[in-house]
Structures are given as structure tokens and as C-alpha cells.
Chain A
Amino acid sequence: MSDRGKIGDFIRRNPTIVVGATLLVLITLAALLAPYIARDPIAFEPINRLRGPSADFWLGTDSLGRDVYARMIYGARISLLVGLLVALISIISGAVIGLLAGYFSKVDAVVMRLMDGIMAIPSILLAIALVALLGSSVKVVIIAIAIPEIPRVTRLVRAVVLSVRDLPFVEAARSNGTRVTKLLRRHILPSTVAPLIVQATYICASAILTEAGLSFLGAGTPPEFPTWGNMIASSRLYLQIAPWTIFAPGICLALVVLAVNLLGDGLRDRLDPRISRRM
């Protein structure tokens, strides 16, 4: 089969992966190239406040006369950064804890009770509490969103470890005298990779939503940053007269999360049809 045929075949079989990945690549490019495709997102011109979309301001201006299009493009930076880092932090810490809990039954009982407790605290409240205690900054927001995700990853990894721990290939490695660290890394960790990749996409999607929610509530990224949540929060009073100031960032937010979710669904169907969503 020719290369073109192969690509066409892949697209036909995995439409959600292709659509999700394409959208994400486009949005990431826009975020990276922001200084070249948009003007200053912070500069404000009070004369031009609440102008509708025009040739000059593609998506109009907000209540301070800032360019909504520029702020929307720059807003993608924080969203993508938060989504990516939260997914990385929670997957790595959850995987380490889950490996240990699944392999050592002494650690297991204590760690899993701890995880049950953390899971019981609503994630947005935990994030609000951390932001209230530590002050709002992008770093605090990332940590605050990552912590409640760790128990879910831990549970997932632990379940996989429990299911492979006593399989013959692990048994064989153990009886060969393989050191525990190597055993976990070389023989057990690989089984967790497929479900973790899928989980990472879902965490990324929900982290982007939570960051926007926190910013919207005034407990997220500091208001001087152009984020989609901040844009919606600062424009809420002008919904009737300037709906574009809310709809533009809102639709962007939905599109990014949709892209990540589609990618996740596609990867799940391809990598591991058994794992169900967010369980």
C-alpha cells in the first residue's frame, strides 16, 4: 500500500484521533505564534471600549478597550500550559504511588485510605483553599488542580499492578533475582503505559476546565493574565451589550477541551477498549 493510502486508512479508522489532534496542533501553533498573529493583549484603549467585531478588532473589544481576539489567542497559552503540566505532575506522582501501593501490600492499605480521603474533597474547593492559603499564581493553580487528580491515577495504576503482579513473566523475573526497582520499572510499568496515556488526556481536559472555572471565580490565575476564565469573569456584566467578549473565549475553551477529549476517546478505543471513562 502506498503511503498516501496508509494515511487515508488511518484517518478513516481513527476519525476522532485525527480531528482532535489536528485541532490541538492548530491551537498550539496559534498559542506559540501569538506575538506574530495578534497585537498586545494587555494594551487598552478606553476610547474603543466594548466595540463590536470589525476589520480592526476582529472579535471586538472588551470593557477596557482591549482586543478580544488578541486576548483569546494569548489565553490559549495558559490553558495549554496548565493542562499539560497538571497531566504530567499527576500522572508521574500517581504512577509512582500506584506502583508502590499495588506491589507492596503493607503500603497499600494506608495509601489507599489516604487516597479515598483526598478523593472525597471536592477538587474545586481544595483548589480554592490552596489558592486562598498560598495566594494566586499560575504555579499554585497547577499544583492545586493536580493534587485531586493523583488519587484517580493511583487507583488506575494500582489496579493494573495487581492484575500483572503475579503473572508468570513477573514471577520469572522475580525468581531470577531482579531488583525490585528494576522489576517495577522494566516489567510492571510498561503495562500501565496505555491506560495512563488515555488517562493523561482526560486529566488534561478536566484541568483546562478547572483552571478556567477557578479563574472565573477569581481564585485562579491572577487577573492581569489574559486567560479565558479571566476574560469571561471580567466581561460578565456586559453579556447583554457585548456578548462577543464572553462567547469568543467560551467557544475557544470548549473547542480545546473537545479536541483533547476526542483525542482521548480515540486513543482509548485504539489502545485499550476495556478502560471506561473517568472511573
Chain B
Amino acid sequence: MLSYILRRLLGVIPVMVVVGVFVFSLLHLAPGDPAAIIAGDNATEANIARIRASLGLDRPLLEQFGKWAWATVHGDLGVSMFSNVPVTELVQQRMGPTFSLAFTTMAVAVVLAVTLGVLAAWKAGSLLDRAVMGLAVTGFSVPVFVVGYIMVYFIALKWRWLPVQGYTPMSEGLWPWLRHLILPSFALGLAYVALIARITRASMLEVLAEDYIRTASAKGVATLPMLLRHALKNAAVPIITVVGIGVALLISGVVITESVFNIPGIGRLVVDAISRRDYPIIQGVMIIFAAIYVLINLVIDISYSFIDPRIRYS
């Protein structure tokens, strides 16, 4: 077990190396002078020269990559061209809202999707099942900004139940924090609910057809314990896998959702960087999010053996 975890941890290295090489070469393969791209549209000739020298862009490519990789590994992701603040510092300032949103979305989506998926599988073929599956296809098709604006229009603007936009940190109270996150979490969660509910239903259907479930219900196990303890537990692995795959969906969604609801998170940082052509920020956030994605999937891979003792690693 320990050697498996160790092996998986080491397996992260080549993936992150590829991410690094890929991200690095994006800037250098793009037509034009990397220093001019980093400096932005309104840069003076002197500015460009300064950036070229300070980033070592006049050195051989391999040396540049070595330097850049060394700095990146040590947590130096460069400096924003707009504000002159290190990218890591900017990201740290924006982390709270983004992780809050990701967390509440994940919570809403998993609870809602697993409940719906279990119910749909239990009553397979019923009206409820069809409704859940209909919701799943629709959830995949409606983009988060469309759901978001429809929700804002009715729930926030028309009925005034929840705030239209913005973010309040948790330090100012749990309810103010949560109130601002309800609409964004549901808007962003919809696609995620669709993804997880489908897999939950499929996986549960498979498990519910097994002999031991028939035995359990024959000996009189009540419905709820049978569904949850006997069936869901054994249907968990595909569900957890898809939760991991969905993290990619979630990250992309966060960027858009923060723009819809005006949440000052990492997504907004990136979007503001687009119009300012602040490339170091985009590059840094790309690496950070890739690392988060890889780590979450690593944790999920390792968690399989705890959830399902049938999975053994040699």
C-alpha cells in the first residue's frame, strides 16, 4: 500500500514536467517576441528590453527553461506586468472566494446528484427516473452563464430572495458568506450534478442487479439501509472517479461563474488579465490549476483502496 502511494506520488512528476514544458513552449512557440508579449500592448522599447534582460529571454532556450522551471518549482511564478506584484501573491489574495465557491459547488452537486442518481436507479423506468435523466441531459447543455443569469433575473432581481452578485468572506459571518454563494453554486453545480447523477444511476443499477442485494431484501433489510449501506457503498468507485474527472469541468466553470456573479477570485484575476494582456498571470494560474487537478486525482486514486477493499495493489 505504502509503496503504491509512493509510486503514484512519483508518477505526478512526469505529468507536471509535461505541463511545465507545454506551458513554457506556448509562450516561445507563439509568433512574435516573448518579451513584447509579456510587456503588453503599450510597452515602450526600453520596457521590452528590460523585461527581456530580467527574464533572461536573450539566453539560449534550454537555459531559459532551466531557470524558469527552477523558479516555478520554488514557488516563483513570475510578476504581474500590470501591478508588478508576484503572481503567487495575487493568487493567494484571490484564493478564498475561489475555494469557497468550488467547495460549496462540490457539496451541493455531490449531495444532490447522488440522491437523484440513487432514487432514479431504485425506481428505474419510472417517471422520476425519466425526470432525473432528462435533467441530466439538460444540465449538460445549458452553459453556466445562462443558468446563472436566469437565476439572477428571477431569484435575485425579481423576487429579491438572494443577493445579485458579490462575495463576503467567511470572517464576516457564516450566513453572509453562504448567502452570496448559493446562486453561483447551483448555477455552476448543474453540469456537475448531471455528470455525477448519470454515473450514480448507472453504477447503482449494476449493483442493484446483483445476488447479494436480492438476498438482503429477501431477508428483510429495509429499503433505505439496503440502498445506502449495501448498494451505494459498492457503487461508489465509478462515482468517485467521475467526481475527479469533473474537477476539470469545475475549474473551467469557476472562471466563468466568477465573472457572472462578480466574485473576486482567481477566475476574475485571469479574466482581467486577458484584457490587460498580463500573460504571467495566465501562465501562473494555468500551472496552479493543473497542479490542483493532478493532486485531486491522485488523492482519488489512492482513496479507491480505502473505499473498496477488493481493490488491491501489488
**Which residues of A pack against B, CB within 8 Å?**
113-114, 116-126, 128-134, 205, 209-210, 212-213, 216-219, 232, 236, 239-240, 243, 246-247, 250-251, 253-254, 257-258, 261-262, 265, 276-279
Contacts and interface: CB of A to CB of B under 8 A. Distances in A.
B145 A213 contact: yes
5 contacts: A121-B286, A129-B282, A210-B252, A217-B259, A239-B152
Interface stretch (B16-24, B86-94, B121-129, B166-174): B16-24
B37 interface: yes
Nearest to B143: A209
Contacts of A123: 248, 252
A212 B141 contact: no
A188 B224 CA distance: 48
Contacts of A119: 248
A123 B245 CA distance: 13
Contacts of B202: 276
B40 to A, nearest CB: 10
B153 interface: yes
Given A122-B289, A218-B275, A254 B283 contact: no
B244 to A, nearest CB: 11
Given A130-B26, A239-B153, A113 B18 contact: yes
Interface of B (DSSP majority class): helix
A253 B143 contact: yes
A114 B18 contact: yes
Contacts, number: 156
Interface of B: 14-19, 21-23, 26-27, 30-31, 37, 137-138, 140-146, 149-150, 152-153, 157, 195, 198-199, 202, 245, 248, 251-252, 255-256, 259-260, 270-271, 273-275, 277, 279, 282-283, 285-286, 289-290, 293-294
B282 A258 contact: no
Nearest to A134: B30
Given A117-B15, A232-B145, A247 B26 contact: no
A250 B271 contact: no
**Most A-side CB within 10 Å, residue of B16, B146, B275:** B146
Nearest to A131: B274
B15 A113 contact: yes
B195 A278 contact: yes
Contacts of B140: 205, 257, 261
A278 B23 CA distance: 25
Contact of A128 (B198, B199, B245, B270): B270
A130 to B, nearest CB: 7
A120 B153 contact: no
A129 B245 contact: no
Contacts of A124: 251-252, 255-256
